[in-house]
Structure 1
């Protein structure tokens, strides 16, 4: 792709061609860096882990003003190539759909914003400040965002998350509390199970109880807390009573119900013999409907002839769970061209028309930021 004439479709295809499953984000960050440097931003690269590069880029002017920050993650979930109808790491065009791993979640959002920012920067204007934060390790619990050096980022201003919303305004999302449950048993010969204590059976009963629990707390607008038994393992071989087992539980949380009561609920279901420990604790994000950033996005959507009504909170979490507080953001919205139902699926795709639409929306939003209406601040 020619960084002098960026094209969102070409940039998205280039990003998809980079396998960033649990690593390799540095190569994608380098591609983004080329576009951002040509747009006149100062780019700082920071490896979270070897090869897992993250990027923070800011406009040089004004240095003392809170910026509008766009964030997106560069990693993707795995793809099993034999299950796909095309190569997951080679973008394929099928009508209005561009197919490839990360097409919706969320390399399309990154590509659209980079192109919009390039266009915005090419027009003479008085800049209020823009910042781009591209992260690694979001899919495994926003680990990259949590490890981002604090001195790299500028604080304040709006936070725009380019996660997939089909270009609808989403001003809130659930949080995540991931728990590790461990059971300990007593080993014995497989032919004499009564001589031991089976840790897998003990934890399997807990897994079933958690799965069958239907009365998790709820909050109007957000719905109920959800619980998913994601993985379970234990035992060493078939003829040995297993003396250890482990289960990973994914709770999706809502603002009105804190992590500690939910953790206590899991402990009560599991019983005193089961160890329960945190893996990830990411808070929900919720921006009031009258916040200036919500008003600005609604105006941009209306100007583009699109539905401007805020959508229900997203079920998924984003890096905003970390960055909203880290950046002291004046408000957060999720707005991206990807299709929410395409996250983590086989033959993942993004609508090309929505991709182009997102470039226009981000471009308009950048203009509104740099030339704010009196009521937006």
Structure 2
């Protein structure tokens, strides 16, 4: 199929793609609750004649009996973050189509991208294009909560040549993302009656000074695509009653890490800053997710540049991403991985999250062309 044939085929089947996207959004697949959507995707591929394997609730599908060293791994996560209905114009798990946009939780992150990938595979299969075992599709769970039971579990034994994950990148070619280290800081003080604060040690005051010092942190290192590291204090708890000097305060830090930074050095840096304000403090690492970045010269990047030039008239920009993703699991297995999918920057996880239908169509065209380019 040449690019014009691909565009016509995808456009002619627009309603089918919209319906698939809406079907996926209807599943309230909050992390840890992906059983129903997992079964739906399994049945979908079995119905069109693909070979399917389950690893936990993760779905692996290939046109023929799958192998562990495919040319291309296509990946998407099937979980979403929770959504409170208050504030949404329409219920978050009842997808609503309006003015060329599909609204609903997960539409942008990343059921739109997932649908575009699945649709591309279905089109090629039904057109009689032999995909064979060179392409492995994977739908994985719990990305939003770390991905250990999702992509982290399926990569064992995988040895693919390249991987593309349909995260929302506005159809730009993302070659890396920052890592994240979450630290919990516990500050100890001494309680006293609220009318005699001089007799106590106010743990909230000490924590406040630490937080200000963290906010004023300066970072010298910078990555061409990922920028500088960042730090954010996103949670704080302290005190039991307003008339008691609090003897304990706990806050949590999200430190975003760029390639080239050492995790142990980052921890020491945090510890040094907080201990300057109070020695009676404990810092523990809650979770750590490594950054990842591949070279612009990798074959998967070159192929996507060619694909996007054919689809859009010029190659899409190569970018980096501030957030984490499952790409790190594939990168740790030395599988060059790119993030590429529909969805505008800043829309994921928001109220009235949406994806543009035109971007779904363009993504499907790109995925069809990508698959044809590697088989």
Q: Distance in 2 between matches of 1:171 and 1:229?
A: 27
Q: 1:308 and 2:308 equivalent? A: no
- List, as ranges, runs of 4+ consecutive aligned residues in structure 1 with deviation greater than 6 Å: none
Q: CA deviation at 1:161?
A: 0.9
SS in 2 for 1:57: strand
Q: 1:80 and 2:84 equivalent? A: yes
Q: CA deviation at 1:349?
A: 0.8
Q: Aligned residue for 1:366?
A: 371
Normalized against structure 2, the TM-score is what?
0.88
Q: Distance in 1 between matches of 2:50 and 2:29?
A: 24
Q: Distance in 1 between matches of 2:229 and 2:360?
A: 32
Map 1:143-222 onto structure 2 (within 5 A): 143-145=148-150, 148=153, 154-215=158-219, 217-222=221-226
Extract unaligned runs of 5+ from structure 2. Answer: 1-12
Asked whether the equivalents of residues 177 and 293 of structure 2 are also in contact (C-alpha less than 8 Å), the reply is yes
Counterpart selection for 1:14 from 11, 23, 29: 23
Map 1:8-157 onto structure 2 (within 5 A): 8-47=17-56, 53-61=57-65, 63=67, 65-122=69-126, 123-125=128-130, 127-145=132-150, 148=153, 154-157=158-161
SS in 1 for 2:122: helix
Normalized against structure 1, the TM-score is what?
0.88
Q: Aligned residue for 2:332?
A: 325
SS in 2 for 1:210: helix
Root mean square deviation, CA, Å: 2.2
SS in 2 for 1:27: helix
Give the stretch that moved more between structures: 286-295 or 253-262: 253-262
SS in 1 for 2:363: helix
Asked whether the equivalents of residues 159 and 324 of structure 1 are also in contact (C-alpha less than 8 Å), the reply is no
SS in 2 for 1:116: helix
Give the stretch that moved more between structures: 264-273 or 121-130: 121-130
Q: Distance in 2 between matches of 1:210 and 1:33?
A: 47
Asked whether the equivalents of residues 171 and 310 of structure 1 are also in contact (C-alpha less than 8 Å), the reply is no
Aligned residues: 358
Extract unaligned runs of 5+ from structure 1. Answer: 48-52, 371-377
Change (3 A) 1:111 1:146: closer
Q: Aligned residue for 2:303?
A: 296
Q: Aligned residue for 2:282?
A: 275
Q: Distance in 1 between matches of 2:327 and 2:110?
A: 14
Change (3 A) 1:307 1:208: farther
Q: Aligned residue for 1:374?
A: none
Q: Aligned residue for 2:6?
A: none
